[in-house]
Structure 1
Amino acid sequence: MNNNLNSKLTFDNFVEGKSNRMALAATRGISEHPALPTHKPLLLYGSTGVGKTHLIHAAGNALIRRNPNAKVIYLHTERFMANRISALHNNTINEFKRFYYSANALLVDEIQFFAGKEEPQEDLHHIINALLENGQPVILTCDRSPQEADSLEKRLKSLLSCGRSLPMKAPDLETRMEILKRKAEEAKIGLPNDTALFIAQRIGSNVRELEGALRQLVAHVRLTGEQINIRPIQETLKDFIALQARPVYCKNLRN
């Protein structure tokens, strides 16, 4: 069955740090003991690029390894809404709902995209309720906590508040360095500590930007054959570094 999971995103290649330790422990706990009612549903929240999607995929992959016959469903919120629209057009909305009701685990990414869509949220609320009553795990991600998610429907917010919500923040310097080293190992290039420190100090907002900077550096090294050190990477990564250093200006708001 196509569960939409990215098999490359696992707990083994997730870099643990202070900013994600609780979220990692909770998702790993659910994947190891899916029948336990603790922390159901689980919501991971935080800004872009802090590892929420990696963890939700890792949990799904671990559940599949634990039980290859399990029906583990992962999907992005926009895909859920698109599938629902298709079901309405094809007069198969009951089949659509039954598909999710029969899941052994449901993983929904970026539920903030439900903003302004009350009926899809109502369907998701009923689906989550049914799965929880059957003892099935549900993990979701969002860019903010349920209390701050004003765009979510009241009953869905209440349901999420009854579970466990864990914040994920931008990785600290030590974690950013470890992420760079892990990714460099995967790319089979040597990354000196001083170079990893140089990059990590200048690109700190999220993991995706770190990975993007490293990909650009790897491409440069393979193209030119140069050794990795601080001098050439200043030129290679100047756009990434400039983006991080760019000040943000806010216009005055009129009352």
Structure 2
Amino acid sequence: MPEGMTPEFQMDAGPSLWQTCVEELARELPEQQFNTWIKPLSAVVSEDQQSITLYVANRFKLDWVRAQYASRLAALLENLQGHPVKIELAITPREGGARPLKASTPSSMESPAEALVVVDEPAANTFRSRLNSALNFDNLVEGTANRMARAAAMHVSGSPGQLYNPLFIYGGVGLGKTHLMHAIGNKLLADRPEAKVLYIHAEQFVSDVVKAYQRKTFDEFKHHYHSLDLLLIDDVQFFANKDRTQEEFFNAFEALLAKKSHIVMTSDTYPKGLADIHERLVSRFDSGLTVAMEPPELEMRVAILINKAISEGSEMPE
């Protein structure tokens, strides 16, 4: 139980749903990633297992878990439970008796005891983009390490479906690839609110393919993905060894390019370095613009820290 948490926040004895989820993530994530971001999470699962609240230590970790792992957690929990599970992220209460409040928007300034809803129900007649509105070009620190990728992303967000299609961004963990993708989507929606933009993790696409098979709903699946104006898909290396998923993504890829929609992908390596991905798909990945995200130089790291301190309302001397 997180320090200072009152009895009403305690986990049920043996929250098997979350424990099973953690064990699955331990198998699929690199050990360092798992130990840093997933293992420290504390979970409160509702009695009916329809919702789960995950507690993190601070706002930075909350934003990071939300951006990097929310889609995967949602897909995994849905697969385990057989129906969608509502996920919320909250800052661990530092003093007993204060229930975290739900934030209205991810970008609102919050006290440490406030929570951020990860999976929101979409408003009626609106397309659910899964974008994190807190991740934009304004708060993405620019440096030598990401200048080319940022410039390409800005161009895509301003003129989707034209140059740099697809845009393939690769690099190690924590270099800002996901932030850049959300920034593209948020900029496009700011300019064109009617645009159909979708951000997903590759594992979510795999899950959607599986569900379409199980429920025999491929027409709905194709309509959903083939009608997009912008598809942002994270970590395409997860398509490895999933032949039918690769086939369906190839079909979606061709359909989107044919209607001049834009595709942005990220990976931990460049297209031709991907293992166990069909050659024709690798060829499509490499057919637009491929840019790398490098580890930030010292000055950029300092700027990132200062910007983060400002956003948290703290003063950090250079």
Report the TM-score, using the length of structure 1 for normalisation: 0.74
2:239 is the counterpart of 1:128: no
1:117 aligns with 2:242: yes
- Separation of aligned partners in 1, 2:299 and 2:139: 16
SS in 1 for 2:271: coil
Partner amino acid, structure 1, of 2:128? N
Alpha-carbon distance in structure 2 between the residues aligned to 1:151 and 1:167:
21
The aligned counterpart of 2:27 is none
After TM superposition, list the pairs within 5 Å mapping 1:1-255 onto structure 2: 1-36=127-162, 38-193=163-318
Q: Which amino acid aligns with 2:291?
A: L
- Is the 2:136–2:187 Cα contact (8 Å) retained in structure 1? yes
What residue number does 2:34 align with?
A: none
1:222 equivalent in structure 2: none
Q: Which runs of 4+ in 1 moved over 6 A?
A: none
- C-alpha distance in 2, partners of 1:116/1:190? 48
1:46 Cα deviation (Å)? 0.4
Distance 2:256 2:136 in 1: 24
Amino acid at match of 1:173: L
* Distance of 1:151 and 1:62 partners within structure 2: 34
Report which structure shows greater RCO (CA 8 Å, sep ≥6): 1
Shift of residue 40 of structure 1? 0.6
Q: CA deviation at 1:192?
A: 1.2
Residues 67-102 of structure 1, C-alpha deviations (whole Å, 9 max, x = no match): 111100110001111111111111101210111110
Between the aligned residues of both structures, percent identity stands at 41
CA shift for structure 1 position 21: 0.4
**Cα-to-partner distance string for 1:187-238 (whole Å, 9 max, x where unaligned):** 1111011xxxxxxxxxxxxxxxxxxxxxxxxxxxxxxxxxxxxxxxxxxxxx
Inter-partner Cα distance in structure 1 for 2:254 and 2:153: 19
Structure 1: gaps (5+ residues): 194-255
Shift of 1:130: 1.2
SS of residue paired to 1:189:
coil
> How far has the Cα of 1:159 moved from its partner?
0.6
**Offset at 1:39?**
1.1
Deviation sequence 1:18-55 (CA, Å, 0-9, x none): 0100100001101011142x111010000100000000
Q: Which has the higher strand share?
A: 2
CA RMSD in angstroms, aligned pairs only:
0.8
Highest Rg: 1 or 2? 1
Residues 161 and 257 in structure 2, CA contact (< 8 A), matched pair in contact too: no
Amino acid in structure 1 at the alignment position of 2:154: R
Count, aligned residues: 192
Using structure 2 for the length normalisation, give the TM-score: 0.59
User: Does structure 1 retain, via aligned residues, the 8 Å contact 2:165–2:288?
Assistant: yes
| Runs (5+) with no aligned partner, structure 2 | 1-126
CA distance in 2, matches of 1:171, 1:156: 30
When you count helix as a share of all residues, which structure comes out higher?
Answer: 1
